[in-house]
Amino acid sequence: MYKIIKQKQKKQKNPFDKLVAAKHLLTSVPILLLITPNIAFAQPATTALTLRVVVNSNQDGIIQPDDVLTLREAIAIVNGNLPLEKLSTVEKSLVSSTNQSQITFQLAPGQTKITLESLLPALTTPGLIIDGTSQPGYDTNKSATAEIEIPIPIVEITSAADKEVFRGLTVAADNITIQGLSLHGFSSEHRDTASLPPGDIVILGMEKEQFVITRFPGKDYGLKNRRDAEGAEKRSKEVLLVLDGERSSKGNYFSKPAKNTIIKDNWLGITSGEEFPNKTSAFGVSVFNATDTTINRNRIANHEGSGIITGKLASNTQITENIIVGNGIAGMPDAIRLEGNINNSQVTSNLICANDGSGVYLFKPEGSVKYSQITLSTMVDAYDGLVFI
């Protein structure tokens, strides 16, 4: 069906050239679309290589070839949206081929706080590890807490004081791991039309359309009307993250849940110096559309709302050995708020105390609660331990 043209192969100069050549080969494969009456299942334009990318700068801003790699650039590279050939020579030296996609850190001492100017791209590469434990000086044996030992992170991710960045990291693929980081300062103003819950880490699931517009919170994206919103789909994939609402011009919104997300050894809502942040986050972890999520050994504190919240689908969620303290300072005050489909989820061996509401609050979860296998241990709270609604 396809005509194969043989070309004379040129000798590659170095291993990185081979990496670029492989990228060219992958991008030459035709794209196939499966069309149904309401939706087109678009395959990515490129098949992502598995790369290890080293972040060596705490700067943020526009993507450009220079002497440093930022977190924004690293995510664009592993997602396949920033071609390798567009990197500078120094940046290329920070990218290597590996058997599993990784973003690691080698930030200079005293420059380990990454201050974001805008929303980061969603994490769309299956199997990606964002590894704060790779930062030099990280000590797995050094903990600030005795009850549950959780190492002290060095790399911090927050938002600029004068910017509204409503999510820290957004998971939109299977088998994503986020570990060894401090995240705080991610919230948004309340508006008549809201997007998904803001927070430090939000698990959304994967798009089945390449571009979908449902609700558009104009002020968030600078969009004034639906025509502008639908035109924006060609300019930014960030518009994909406005979900949950009206039917778009292309049909109903469909998404596939993200599977096997692991969130471990992070400090959410706390600075790496164990201080109350200048800007608080709305939520710690929002499991909006996912299955088999593991939230293990995290310190989760100082959030405006709940430390952990579930939405549409959060079946088989495992919440274990976390320290969840002092959340709910501005509404929705529960340490853990479970709603939606939470079948076969477990809450075990957590230290939960001094939150403004319940330890675990179940708000009209789908199905019978007794089949959700929610168990509690080691929980102390200022108010009710477990509430069913």
The tens digit of pLDDT for each residue in 131-141 reads 999 999 999 99
> Percentage of the chain surpassing pLDDT 70?
67
Q: Which residue has the higher pLDDT, 28 or 153?
A: 153
Segments in 119-275 forming alpha helices (H):
218-221, 226-232
Mean pLDDT of the chain: 76
pLDDT of residue 188: 81
Q: Identify the three-state secondary structure at position 20.
A: helix
Cβ atoms of 273 and 303 within 8 Å: the answer is no
pLDDT of residue 5: 32
Beta bridge partners of 154: none
pLDDT of residue 385: 54
Rounded distance between C-alpha atoms, residue 329 and residue 304, angstroms: 5
For 68-104, the DSSP string reads ---HHHHHHHHTT-S-GGGS-HHHHTTEEE-SS-EEE
The arithmetic mean of pLDDT across residues 121-135, rounded, is 96
Rounded distance between C-alpha atoms, residue 323 and residue 325, angstroms: 6
* Res. 221 pLDDT band, cuts 50 70 90: very low
| Residue 320: closest CA among 291, 294, 290, 352 | 294
Rounded distance between C-alpha atoms, residue 234 and residue 363, angstroms: 38
Cβ atoms of 318 and 285 within 8 Å: the answer is no
The arithmetic mean of pLDDT across residues 304-314, rounded, is 93
The arithmetic mean of pLDDT across residues 324-347, rounded, is 91
pLDDT of residue 370: 35
Rounded distance between C-alpha atoms, residue 357 and residue 333, angstroms: 5
Cβ atoms of 303 and 269 within 8 Å: the answer is yes
Task: Indicate whether 211 pLDDT > 60.
Answer: no
Q: Identify the three-state secondary structure at position 51.
A: strand
Cβ atoms of 135 and 155 within 8 Å: the answer is yes
Rounded distance between C-alpha atoms, residue 297 and residue 384, angstroms: 23
Q: Which residue has the higher pLDDT, 292 or 36?
A: 292
pLDDT of residue 363: 87
pLDDT of residue 387: 56
pLDDT of residue 321: 95
Domains and CATH numbers, the chain: 51-208+254-388 (2.160.20)
pLDDT of residue 253: 43
Q: Which residue has the higher pLDDT, 266 or 23?
A: 266
The arithmetic mean of pLDDT across residues 349-377, rounded, is 71
Rounded distance between C-alpha atoms, residue 1 and residue 30, angstroms: 12
Rounded distance between C-alpha atoms, residue 114 and residue 161, angstroms: 12
pLDDT of residue 331: 78
Task: Indicate whether 25 pLDDT > 60.
Answer: no
